[in-house]
Amino acid sequence: MTKDDEKVIPVRVALRCRPLIPKEVNEGCQCCLTFVPGEAQVIVGKDRAFTYDYVFDSTTEQEEVFNTAVSSLLSGLFKGYNATVLAYGQTGSGKTYSMGGTYTSAQEHDLSVGVIPRVINRIFLEKDNKTTVTVSYLEIYNEEILDLLSGSKEKPSISIREDPKEGIKIVGLTEKVVCSATEMVGCLEQGNSARTVGSTAMNSASSRSHAIFTTTLEQRRSADRSDSVVSKLHLVDLAGSERQKKTKAEGDRLREGISINRGLLSLGNVISALGDESKRGTFVPYRDSKLTRLLQDSLGGNSHTLMIACVSPADSNMEETINTLRYADRARKIKNKPIINIDPRTAEMQRLKQQVQELQVMLLNARGGVSQVLCGSEPLRNMSEILEKNSCLQDENSKLSRELSEAVGQTAQMFERIITTEQANENLQSKLVELKQHAALKIDLQRVVESLEDQELKENVEMIQNLQQVILQLQDENAGITASIEAMTSEHCNFLDGEGELRPRVGVPGTPNLMTADKGTLEAFTTQHALQQAQKSKELLELNKILALKEAFVKEMCQGNSQLEPMQIKYQENMKGLQSAVGSLQKEKEELILDLHSAKKDITQAKLSEQRKQRLQELESQITELKKQLQEQAKLLKLKESSLRNVSKLNQEIQAMKVQRAQLMKQMKEDSEKFRLWKHKKEREVLQLKEK
Shortest Cβ distance from residue 203 to Mg ion (Å)?
Answer: 11
CB 421 within 8 A of CB 545: no
Stretch that binds Mg ion, among 92-100, 455-463, 529-537, 603-611 (CB under 5 A): 92-100
Binding-site member from 18, 234, 640, 682 for ligand ADP (CB under 6 A): 18
CA distance 272 to 122: 34
Closest residue to ligand ADP, Cβ-based?
A: 94
Is residue 90 annotated as involved in ligand binding? yes
Closest CA to 77 of 393, 357, 305: 305
192 binds Mg ion (CB under 5 A): no
Judged by CB, which is closer to ligand ADP: 208, or 536?
208
Q: How far is CA 572 from the centre of its chain?
A: 42
Q: Is 167 annotated as a binding residue?
A: no
Q: In the set 95, 332, 536, 682, which binds ligand ADP (CB under 6 A)?
A: 95
**Residues in contact with 637: Cβ distance below 8 Å, sequence separation at least 6, in sequence order:** 568, 571, 572
CB of 89 to ligand ADP, least distance (A): 5
Residue 310 lies near ligand ADP (rule: CB under 6 A): yes
Q: Least distance (Å) from ligand ADP to the CB of residue 543?
A: 25
Burial of 383 (0-12, 13-18, 19+ CB in 10 A): exposed
Q: Is 19 in the site for ligand ADP (CB under 6 A)?
A: yes
Please answer whether residues 328 and 305 qualify as being in contact, where contact means their C-beta atoms are separated by less than 8 angstroms.
no
Q: Which has the closest alpha carbon to 464: 488, 486, 440, 447?
A: 440
Q: How far is the CB of 331 from ligand ADP (least distance, A)?
A: 17
Closest CB to ligand ADP among 93 and 231? Answer: 93
Three-class SS of 492-561: HHHHHHCCCCCCCCCCCCCCCCCCCCCHHHHHHHHHHHHHHHHHHHHHHHHHHHHHHHHHHHHHHHHHHH
CB closer to Mg ion, 237 vs 256: 237
In this structure, which amino acid lies at residue 12?
R
The binder of ligand ADP chosen from 89, 198, 263, 338 (CB under 6 A) = 89
97 belongs to the binding site for ligand ADP (CB under 6 A): yes
- Residue 251 labeled ligand binder: no
Binding of ligand ADP by 100 (CB under 6 A) = no
Write the Ramachandran bin of 668: left for phi over 0, alpha for psi from -120 to 50, otherwise beta: alpha
Query: Is 559 marked as a binding-site residue?
Result: no
Kindly determine how many residues on this chain lie close enough to bind Mg ion according to the rule CB under 5 A: 2
Question: What does the alpha-carbon distance between residue 149 and residue 146 come to, in Å, rounded to a whole number?
Answer: 9
Which letter does DSSP use for residue 12 in this model? E
Three-class HEC string of 210-239: EEEEEEEEEEECCCCCCCEEEEEEEEEECC
Stretch that binds ligand ADP, among 84-92, 249-257, 275-283, 533-541 (CB under 6 A): 84-92
For residues 171 and 165, give the distance between their C-alpha atoms in angstroms, rounded to a whole number. Answer: 16
Of residues 96 and 305, the one with the C-beta less far from Mg ion: 96
* Binding characters for ligand ADP, 218-247, by CB under 6 A (x = yes): ----------------------x-------
Q: Which of 30, 82, 96, 289 forms a contact with Mg ion (CB under 5 A)?
A: 96
Residues making up the annotated binding site for ATP are 89-96
Contacts with ligand ADP, residue ranges (CB under 6 A)? 18-19, 21, 89, 91-97, 207, 240, 310
Residues making up the annotated binding site are 89-96
